[in-house]
């Protein structure tokens, strides 16, 4: 039990480091005034395949990292909202690990996982829209003035754009975790394989 805790703590620390570093080095897609950094959420999404505790630790750790690195406060606040979808998603994976496999195999064309991905993407984007809107209204007294209008900025760029960004990053994380699970213990994938073997064993017994 202690070894497992140390392992998870080490993994969380590594993922926090990656979560802080990636936004600084990866290319950004800029659609003014919004910008989207490719793979910026990948470490957090990978953490969700380990446990809710690891996911929460990575979300809080990256938030603190952004806060002390001199980035705008609103970026740290957006990162803080990640605790919401990370907790929900990680808890769901703990209870339903089988969704990471389709017919016993890892594949990106996994309908159940992609439906779960879409729901998390909506939660992810909605939380960020709310925090940016609240921050701007507190800071400016208004939602702000943007080219294309407030609706375009919040609901098209941050909202729809945020969902697409989340979907892409989670698929990258899913691919990385699924590939690594063939050689290392990624808890959710390990549980899914165990359940798959139990189901196959029960079918053979029934016959």
pTM: 0.91
Question: What is the reported pLDDT for 25?
Answer: 87
Q: What is the CA radius of gyration of the chain?
A: 19
Question: What is the reported pLDDT for 141?
Answer: 63
> How far from the centroid of its chain's Cα atoms is residue 127's Cα?
13
CA distance 153 to 34: 8
pLDDT digits (tens, 9 = 90+) for 10-58: 999 999 999 999 988 887 877 756 778 889 999 999 999 999 999 999 9
E strand residue ranges, 22-157: 28-31, 34-37
Question: What is the reported pLDDT for 20?
Answer: 92
119: CB partners within 8 A, 6+ apart: none
Question: What is the reported pLDDT for 189?
Answer: 97
Question: What is the reported pLDDT for 78?
Answer: 93
Looking at the DSSP bridge assignments, the partners of residue 105 are 102
CB atoms within 10 A of CB 105: 9
pLDDT tens for the chain, 207 residues long, are 566 788 999 999 999 999 999 988 887 877 756 778 889 999 999 999 999 999 999 999 999 998 888 778 888 999 999 999 999 999 999 999 999 999 888 999 999 999 999 999 999 999 999 999 998 888 766 666 666 678 888 888 899 999 999 999 999 999 999 999 999 999 999 999 999 888 666 655 555
Question: What is the reported pLDDT for 81?
Answer: 96
Question: What is the reported pLDDT for 142?
Answer: 66
Q: Is 176 left (phi over 0), alpha (psi -120 to 50) or beta?
A: alpha
CA distance 79 to 73: 10
Query: How would you class 1 by CB atoms within 10 Å of its CB: exposed for 0-12, middle for 13-18, buried for 19 or more?
Result: exposed
Question: What is the reported pLDDT for 8?
Answer: 92
Task: Copy the structure tokens of residue 24.
Answer: 């600084």
Going by their DSSP bridges, the two strands 34-37 and 28-31 should be labelled as antiparallel
């Amino acid at each position: 039990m202690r070894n497992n805790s140390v392992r998870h703590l080490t993994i969380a620390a590594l993922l926090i480091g990656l979560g802080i570093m990636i936004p600084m080095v990866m290319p950004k897609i800029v659609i003014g005034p919004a910008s989207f950094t490719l793979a910026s959420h990948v470490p957090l999404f990978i953490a969700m395949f380990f446990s809710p505790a690891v996911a929460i630790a990575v979300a809080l750790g990256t938030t603190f990292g952004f806060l002390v690195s001199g980035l705008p406060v609103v970026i740290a606040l957006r990162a803080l909202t990640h605790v919401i979808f990370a907790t929900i998603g990680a808890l769901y994976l703990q209870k339903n690990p089988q969704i990471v496999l389709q017919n016993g195999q890892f594949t990106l064309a996994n309908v159940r996982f992609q439906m779960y991905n879409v729901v998390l993407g909506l939660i992810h984007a909605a939380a960020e829209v709310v925090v940016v809107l609240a921050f701007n209204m507190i800071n400016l007294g208004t939602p702000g003035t943007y080219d294309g209008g407030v609706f375009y900025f919040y609901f098209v760029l941050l909202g729809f754009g945020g969902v697409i960004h989340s979907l892409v990053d989670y698929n990258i994380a899913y691919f990385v975790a699924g590939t690594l699970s063939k050689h290392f213990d990624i808890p959710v994938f390990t549980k899914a394989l165990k359940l798959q073997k139990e189901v196959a064993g029960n079918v053979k017994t029934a016959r």
